[in-house]
Amino acid sequence: MAKQFMKVNIKMVKKLGNGILKLRMIQKLKKYKNKFIILSGYGAYDEKEHKNAIWLELSENYRNMQIEVTYYGEYKKDKKIGKWEIHYKYSSNYPFKQMQLLYIYINVIEVVDHIMMKVLNMVIGQN
């Protein structure tokens, strides 16, 4: 059986103020056995082209790694704020799972504890 390819014309209409690209599909899509996926993150920009609001970002090596990783969180004036969720999956056959946030917090606590011990040793050494 020969592979079937789908021809789709996509016209970029314009970049709106909120950063969402509006796409117009010229040809209606049919169901195919082979699925083609366009990989990109999404989010919104303000008038000054700063990242704002909720964003979904892909890791830099999204498809080159054995594990696919995405980041979901909020930007305010181009800076990440609040809690960011990290999701991963081993292949396209598996659903995304959220990484455990406790692991991240434990690592941060260990680093802070290590720094506090160094400072404490320095203070005790001076007296």
Residue 65 lies in a domain: yes
- 24-75 residue pLDDT tens: 333 334 443 444 444 557 788 888 888 888 888 887 776 666 777 888 888 8
Domain extent, residue 72, equals 10-29+38-100
pLDDT of residue 60: 73
Residue 126 lies in a domain: no
Residue 93 lies in a domain: yes
Residue 4 lies in a domain: no
Whether 16 has a pLDDT exceeding 70, the answer reads no
Counting the structural domains of the chain, the total is 1
Per DSSP bridges, beta strands 10-15 and 97-98 are unpaired
Kindly report the backbone phi and psi dihedral angles of residue 118, in degrees, each rounded to the nearest multiple of 5, phi listed first: -60, -45
Residue 77 lies in a domain: yes
